[in-house]
Amino acid sequence: MALDFSEPFTERTPRIVNAAKLHRAQGRRKAGRFLAEGANSVEAAVATGAATDVFVTERAADEFAEIVTTAGYMNVFTHAITDKAAAHLSDTVHTTGIFAVCSPVLWSLGAVTKGRPRFVAVGVETNDPGNAGTLIRIADVCGADAVIFAGDSVDPESGKVVRSSAGSLFHVPVVRERNIADAVGQLRAAGLSIAATTMDGEVSLARAGDHLTRPTAWLFGNEAHGLPKELIESADYRVSIPIRGSAESLNMATAAAMCMWESSKALHGDAALEDSRGS
């Protein structure tokens, strides 16, 4: 699909002004839309039917021609924009020049548990958007059935989370549930064992295989404070990650990657992982 760049949208065009408002939580709530930036996210948004509009600079239209063509086939409104308009839409220093306005993609926890998940990741009071997006991406890589952000967590549809997920937000069911106790209670009622990640857990991740063959909900704590004490104590078991060197701890996203990879191996077997598509 060839776009006409003779009269591209500028930073003052109403559609650009309204799309830029989606950087703010209030703007997203009012419009019932969110903004995705970057080739991976826009491609996934278009392919899954979440994108309603695509904005693209002339340079990006050449670089990401397949995405623009697919958007046309999917009847997504595609608009030519200036470089200044792209800078207005972007929240990065160097923009790729391609954006999508998207319909909401978050799931309810009830919809996730009805699917009888085998393992899910629960970010408890996750405040760092980069870690939140990475958690979604790792869950996608490891074949998790859902990601749940419980408590006072970052909005999964905010710009940096969407970008950090590299398109995985559109592939994995993601839930935002502010009531932590209710989230854990629903997961347990759905038959999942609750595994809390702690520094001094009684189960070493290296020996957790027997536990992980059962449906599991992994709890990952806040980057600064970890998991609340009462949540650790109420878990079915507590898992620690052995540290061989001098580091005091792992950040949340790294710990989640290690734990979910072990769940994936326990559920699918090493042979299935070896046969799966590589990175």
Binning pLDDT at 50, 70 and 90, where does residue 161 land?
A: very high
Angle between helices 39-47 and 65-73 (to 10 degrees): 20
So what's the pLDDT on residue 272? 47
State both tokens at 36: 């995705």
Asked if pLDDT for residue 268 goes beyond 90, the answer is no
What span, in angstroms and rounded, lies between the C-alpha atoms of 132 and 204?
Answer: 25
For the chain, count helices (H), then strands (E).
13, 11
Unique residue bearing structure tokens 């038959």: 191
Question: What's the chain's average pLDDT?
Answer: 93
Q: In this predicted structure, what is the pLDDT of residue 132?
A: 96
Q: pLDDT tier at 243 (50, 70, 90 boundaries)?
A: confident
Using the predicted structure, report yes or no on whether residue 187 has a pLDDT greater than 90.
Answer: yes
Give the C-alpha separation, 100 to 93, whole Å.
18
Prediction pTM value: 0.92
Cβ-count burial of 193 within 10 angstroms (0-12 exposed, 13-18 middle, 19+ buried)? middle
Asked whether the predicted pLDDT for residue 273 surpasses 80, the reply is no
DSSP, collapsed to helix, strand or coil, labels residue 53 as strand
- Given this model, what pLDDT does residue 199 score? 85
pLDDT, position 223: 75
pLDDT at 225: 82
Q: Which domains does the chain show, CATH number per domain?
A: 14-102 (3.30.1330.30), 109-268 (3.40.1280.10)
What is the per-residue DSSP string for 161-220?
HHHHTTTGGGTS-EEEES-HHHHHHHHHHTTPEEEEE-TT-SEEGGG-HHHHTS-EEEEE
Mean pLDDT of 242-268: 86
Token pair 């702690």 is found at 198
